[in-house]
Amino acid sequence: MTYWLRMACAAIVISVVSLFMLPLQMLCLRFGWKLSRYLPRIWHRVLCYWLGIRIHVIGTPERRRPLMLASNHSSWLDILVLSAVADVAFIAKIEVRDWPIFGLLARLQNSVFVVREQKRSTGNQVNEIAERMAGGEIMVLFPEGTTSDGNRLLEVKSSLFGAAAAALPGAPNGTVYVQPVAVAYTRIHGLAMGRYYRPVTAWPGDIELLPHLKGILACGAIDVDVCFGEAVEYRADSNRKEVSATIASRIRTMLTSRLLGREID
């Protein structure tokens, strides 16, 4: 009974807030109001609260600009969590745009959809990312290019950091800051999650959305650690593969540390 009551309350609150905020976000995007950068953070905080997702932040987002966040990716929950922590926009693959529910939400958050197979289109999208970073927006990149099982970092694709290089001409001091971020789902109802229960939060893509969402709602108490690491300075003479390797190493270290329950030195 408590489970269904909580689900009903969550559905009502999320629906009411969404009915007000989503149309407002549409207006903000239509008229180019800067409020569109900040509304998603409020909405995602409401979602996380009513889904029972408790966020613990370790470290702080880099204050210098232009800034790109590079994060590991294991679930659609990562979008909610990162959006609840900072005012961000996402770099997503073009397929996401047509997904039910998440495609609409991604568009409302003014995400940039990248077509990796078409070089001309990719160039235009990279330029858009660069312009928005130069304008002060924080762009989030998932450099694995897909979702993992939440227990490890997959291979990081250095080519995806091309957007950071493209943003250099708009950087006041010739530097773009790329900050590694680790999102680690660590506990359910206060108990260590471990490899066995981590599939509750991980969404590799071959699992149907509605059953997965139902599982999240059934839990009602999920702890997630969001770790911000030391930013890497990307300059004109930087080697993209070296930057990629450094970012991957820092994400992997933070992720492993949080999953094993150890503090980061």
Answer yes or no: pTM beyond 0.85. Answer: yes
Task: Quote the longest CA-to-CA distance of the chain.
Answer: 61
The whole-number pLDDT of residue 33 equals: 93
pLDDT tens-digit profile of 2-60? 667 777 888 888 889 999 999 999 999 999 999 999 999 999 999 999 889 999 999 99
The pair phi, psi for residue 181, each rounded to 5°, is -135, 135
In this predicted structure, which of 74-78, 94-98, 141-145 has the lowest mean pLDDT? Answer: 94-98
Q: With contact defined as beta carbons under 8 Å apart, do 200 and 193 qualify? A: yes
Burial degree of 206 (CB within 10 A; 0-12, 13-18, 19+): exposed
The whole-number pLDDT of residue 27 equals: 96
Query: Residue 182 and residue 17: Cα distance in Å, rounded?
Result: 29
The whole-number pLDDT of residue 118 equals: 53
The whole-number pLDDT of residue 1 equals: 47
pLDDT tens-digit profile of 169-211? 888 899 999 999 999 999 988 888 888 788 888 887 667 777 7
More confident residue, 85 or 167: 85
Q: With contact defined as beta carbons under 8 Å apart, do 227 and 258 qualify? A: yes
The whole-number pLDDT of residue 245 equals: 96
Residue found under tokens 């002060």: 136
Share of the chain above pLDDT 90, in %: 55
> Which CATH number describes the domain made up of 2-259?
3.40.1130
The whole-number pLDDT of residue 205 equals: 64
Query: Residue 100 and residue 63: Cα distance in Å, rounded?
Result: 34
The whole-number pLDDT of residue 123 equals: 61
